[in-house]
Structures are given as C-alpha cells and as structure tokens.
Amino acid sequence: MDTIISNSPEETLHIGTALAADLRGGEILALCGDLGAGKTHFAKGIVSGLGGDAEDVTSPTFTLVHEYPGCRLPVFHFDFYRLEAESELRNIGWDDYLREDGVLLIEWAERFPDAFPPSTRFIHFEITSENGRLLHFS
C-alpha cells in the first residue's frame, strides 16, 4: 500500500492531477474518509488533469452524480453520503455506470464497500492536522 503526504489543499489537488495522466477509462476510484478529508479536492485534481475545470467540481450530495464537460474521458462523480441503503444504488443505475468506459469517482465509498468490483482502487484520506492529510492507496 502506498501512502502520499499532502500538506495543503493545493497539494491534494495536484496529486489528483498527476494521477489523471495514467487514466485510460474504466477506472473506479473509491474515495473514503471523513468530512473535510480532501476527497472533493482530489476529485478536482482528477477533473483538471483530464482537461476539465476544477471549479466545476463539488460534492454531488443532492444530485448524486455529476458529469463534467471538457474532460478527455467521461467522469462520473458520486457521493454516497446521503444514500440510506445499498438498494438505492439500483435506482440510480449504478450497474450501468460500472459498465461505462469512463472514470468513476465515488466519495464516501466506504458506506457500501460491497457495491464495488475487485478492480476498484480504494483511496483512504486521513486527516493528520489542520492542513495535513495522508492519502492511502490500496
């Protein structure tokens, strides 16, 4: 398991941007960690690295999934925070998203770990201080 240290929101964004260069489509990035841990900043970096605008990226708390224009791959950004039960995933067409050749970014993925295929990359965001974060890649 790799761990990357971030000392600022900008650094977390840049970690996402760097990772975006390796994305080819079909990746599922499950972002886990408490409120304020940096999941959305990382998602901003991914979108920016794929050619989109980081400022478009917000936690899709009420709409459940966001898509972003201008990216070289389709990006589907989810937030499972407000889902009550895994069965609700069926209503949003989760299985269809899993078959997409885009990039899936899921905040609060740890709520429903069983919803993910084995190829999923889990990234755990840990708060270590006001501006310190550890990103654990497993």
Choose the contact partner of 33 out of ligand ADP, Mg ion, none; CB within 5 to 8 A by kind.
ligand ADP
Q: How far is the CB of 102 from ligand ADP (least distance, A)?
A: 20
- Can you tell me the distance from the alpha carbon of 63 to that of 85, in angstroms, rounded to the nearest whole number? 16
Rg (CA), the chain: 14
- Can you tell me the distance from the alpha carbon of 105 to that of 45, in angstroms, rounded to the nearest whole number? 12
Q: Footprint of ligand ADP on this chain (CB under 6 A)?
A: 6-9, 11-12, 33, 35-41, 59, 107, 125, 131, 133
Based on the shown chain and the rule CB under 5 A, indicate whether residue 12 belongs to the binding site for Mg ion.
Answer: no
* Window 67-106: contact mask with Mg ion (x via CB under 5 A): ----------------------------------------
Is the distance from CB of 37 to CB of 133 less than 8 angstroms? Answer: yes
And the tokens for 100? 């997409």
